[in-house]
Structure 1
Amino acid sequence: MARTTVQLPAQRRPSGIAKLPQDGPVVLARLGAGGDHVVNTKHHGGPDKAVYAYAAEDLAAWAAELGRDLPPGAFGENLTTAGVDVTGAVVGERWRVGLAVLEVAQPRTPCVTFQRRLGVPGWVRRFAERGWPGAYLRVLVEGEVRAGDAVEVLDRPAHGVTVGEAARAGVPGAAPVDPARVRLLLAQDRLAPSLRRVLERVPVPS
């Protein structure tokens, strides 16, 4: 069964990317997880990036490749899922986790803070080209979550375009994405504005 661990920042500092697992309940609210903090509000946070989820399986694959331990929270994620294909989650898919209802909004675009955190030269490009972006989630119903909560998929949009495809579409050097899939995503009314801007720059033959 799909499960999660829940992370919050280790302490208040210039970046909230360093996170530690939480034993007790954490409230997921419209603008983020209670106890989390966002410093760079130009590129992070807001309702379309309220919560960040990353798959434990992808974290383990990176750990093996990099030859280092990557515990839950290593990528700054609030939720580390197990048994959930986050890369394969459909944009607009809805999950119930604990008492919260979440919606997959968009993939992560890696930044220099993430690269500094990992200390891996060229990490921004490497992460982007790999196409395992994790997912930013909207909070549709606020509520408490805690480690061990199941992830239940409530709804999966018929368009079928995944966060992995959405991430790769805007990255030169990543595995190619069928232009028809980009058009499908651009036709969605609830598409996050920041993702729409990225996809509108992708050359798509008519």
Structure 2
Amino acid sequence: MTSGIVLSLNVGGSAATPVRGPGVTGIGKRPVDHPVTVRRPGPKTTGLHSGIVGDFIGDTKHHGGDDQAVYAYAIEDYAWWSAELGRELKPALFGENLTTQGLNLYDAVLGERWRVGDEVVLETTFGRVPCATFQHRMGEPGWIKRFAAANRTGAYLRIVREGSVATGDRIEVIDRPAHGLTLSEAFNIYMHAPENLARLLIADALPLSTRTKIEQRLSTAPR
């Protein structure tokens, strides 16, 4: 199995946003130099929202909860975007909790499990669907469509085992489902290839809300 490290551990506070919606956001995360507690946040709208203690989530309708408890983005994908955009992109810009190094998140398998440090175990659930808050933060024309088209979505993760995480912790992939469905492939199908939606249902790790949307789309598709 592959391994990497937590290059940057990022936590965000509440900040106002002009984007239509809740009026506040936690996307403006900053690297921290101390360990943080990772715990299951519970249901999306009624729980503790983020899986990282001290991390703020503004749009609790669409973000957070057990199936999106932690968000990870790879420094290797930042490098790809830096070349595409012609400017340097630093860790935490995309609002991720974990900036990873050494893990190929583009080819990460849905439901694979990571041991982070000595205690925490996380499980990949799906990629990130970009939103207007992300668009505003980036200041790039057509960013939502551009980010979605690239399929370099990063990984949302649920918490299998709670504990503490710190910058520099080793990340080890300890289990990878045999179905082989990757984050990038699943995201591409979900966003751009509805004729293949049924393939996504082989991944047990899919968030329940995502699975429900897929089943609804399949039930109304022309036969």
The equivalent residue for 2:128 is 108
The Cα of 1:184 is off from its aligned counterpart by 4.0
Whichever residue aligns with residue 89 of structure 1, its letter is A
**Secondary structure in 2 matching 1:63:** helix
Q: 1:204 to 1:148 in 2, by over 3 A?
A: farther
1:143 matched to 2:168: no
The equivalent residue for 2:36 is 26
Q: 1:128 to 1:22 in 2, by over 3 A?
A: same
The equivalent residue for 1:57 is 76
1:91 matched to 2:94: no
The equivalent residue for 1:166 is 186
**Secondary structure in 1 matching 2:106:** coil
The equivalent residue for 1:196 is 211
The Cα of 1:190 is off from its aligned counterpart by 3.8
> Which runs of no fewer than 5 residues in structure 2 stay unpaired?
16-23, 42-50
TM-score, normalising length from structure 1? 0.89
Q: 1:87 to 1:109 in 2, by over 3 A?
A: same
The equivalent residue for 2:47 is none
Verify the 8 A CA contact 1:100 1:144 in the aligned structure 2.
Answer: yes
The Cα of 1:177 is off from its aligned counterpart by 9.0
Q: How many percent identity over aligned positions? A: 50
How large is the Cα RMSD of the aligned pairs? 2.1
Q: 1:125 to 1:153 in 2, by over 3 A?
A: same
CA distance, structure 1, for counterparts of residue 28 and residue 10 of structure 2: 9
The Cα of 1:66 is off from its aligned counterpart by 1.1
